[in-house]
Amino acid sequence: MLSAQQLATMLTLQDKMNAKVNPDWLNAGYGYLRAAMVESVEAIEHHGWKWWKAQHKDLPQLQMELVDIWHFALSACIIDFKGDIAASAKSIAAELASGNTQVTFDQKNYDSSQLSLLDNLELMTGLCAAKRFSVPLFMQIVVQCDMSADELYRQYVGKNVLNFFRQDNGYKDGTYIKVWQGREDNEHLVDVMNALDLSKPEFSDLVYEGLKARYPQN
């Protein structure tokens, strides 16, 4: 289960990233759950659903889609609580602590713990289309994709910090260097994160500093 510190870190990072895109993002009316719905459909594609042809589940891509969905879900939650990070974290923590695996959709009850990964992805897509999100359902999908809560946190923070780092180093105006020392920035990110203690409250800051220390200086 995600810890209180992890939830606070992720929600704070999400708020900062959204504010970097638009300082008034809370009132912009962006369709975050619509975005989560589209990512959910893409996750279904990576899982494979076509019975008339051979398909193979692409687990790494599925995990990446889940991290993207989580970005949008956190954003929607912060909006629901009018920018209150503490209240957002408390709400998510309560959902996780409830242990409730039941999801009601279209007046029908579903037990996500008894459904296949594909059916749960489809259920999440439907909920997002109806402007709803179930944290317990999402975490059930995370488990079905062979991810722990810590791994979700690690991948989320890594992608968020890398996005910040790119923006701070010229990504928008085209001056950012994506490949250095013969390796892409996301490869350097993996090295940096693997050398750090995930439990440290300043984990995200340490990731940023690690990237900064490796990035070519003009």
Query: Does residue 1 have a pLDDT over 90?
Result: no
Given a contact cutoff of 8 angstroms between Cβ atoms, the answer to whether 44 and 124 are in contact is: no
The amino acid that residue 120 corresponds to is: N
Q: What is the pLDDT of residues 162-217, one digit of tens each?
A: 989 998 998 888 999 999 889 999 889 989 999 999 888 899 999 999 999 999 98
- List the domain boundaries for the chain: 2-146, 160-212
3.30.1480.10, 3.90.1170.50, 1.10.4010.10, 3.40.630.10: which CATH number matches 2-146?
A: 1.10.4010.10
Burial class (CB in 10 A: 0-12, 13-18, 19+), 132: middle
- Rounded Cα–Cα distance for residues 125 and 123 (Å): 5
Give percent of the chain with pLDDT exceeding 70. Answer: 100
Q: What is the pLDDT of residues 128-172, one digit of tens each?
A: 999 999 999 999 999 999 999 999 999 999 999 998 999 899 888
Q: What is the pLDDT of residues 34-92, one digit of tens each?
A: 999 999 999 999 999 999 999 899 998 999 999 999 999 999 999 999 999 999 999 99
pTM for the whole thing? 0.90
Q: Which residue is it, tokens 């810590």? A: 150
Indicate the average pLDDT of the chain.
Answer: 94
Closest by CA position to 29, among listed 126, 164, 171, 131: 131
